[in-house]
Amino acid sequence: MEWQELVNRMEATGRILADLFAGVGDEELRWKPAPERWSMLEVLVHLWDEEKDDFRHRLALTLDDPAREWPAIDPEGWVRERRYNERDPAEALAGFRHERAASLAWLRGLDEPVWDSAHEHPALGVLRAGDLLAAWTAHDLLHIRQLSNLRIDYLSIEAAPYSTRYAIP
């Protein structure tokens, strides 16, 4: 697959991610199916932070200077430390959209990137720039699935006394 196709997919999945929040009320956005699971709002702020603090930054480092150490990230810890579930949903959505647009513009502006440039990750081993781009694209899909499951779980509770079992055996 050509790298431009991955970028096109990221544009499409970015729209899908943003659309998953349309018309969702504040209670549903902040609802968590269990204390250790994320709310929709936590997923959204995570996507925003990943856009600016993880994927784009680390991919740029790998393309420019593969041997350079990556800055530390803590996506799980940030959920609590940065108080994701207390954030303003409109600001988070606007932030994600802005950062995704910046990422797409940056990616499309790359001049003959060397996708085989490789960084040695301490836990995962060799990661090529192309691996990071593919993972970034997959990351969107994983969170689309997660957000869809959250919406289904919330609906299953809110639809009571009716059941969703006809659709979800």
Average pLDDT for runs of 10 along the chain of length 169: 94 96 96 97 98 95 95 94 97 97 98 96 94 97 98 95 91
Cα–Cα dist 47/94, whole Å:
12
- Burial label, 74 (beta-carbon count in 10 A; 0-12, 13-18, 19+): exposed
CATH of 3-158, one of 1.10.510.10, 1.10.580.10, 1.20.120.450, 1.20.1270.10: 1.20.120.450
| Predicted TM-score of the model (pTM) | 0.95
- Encode 124-147: b = buried (16+ Cβ within 10 Å), e = exposed: eeebbbbbbbbebbebbeebbebb
How far from each other are the two terminal CA atoms of the chain, in whole angstroms? 36
Domain edges within the chain = 3-158
Structure-block tokens of residue 2: 């050509």
Q: In this predicted structure, what is the pLDDT of residue 145?
A: 98
Q: How far is CA 141 from the centre of its chain?
A: 8
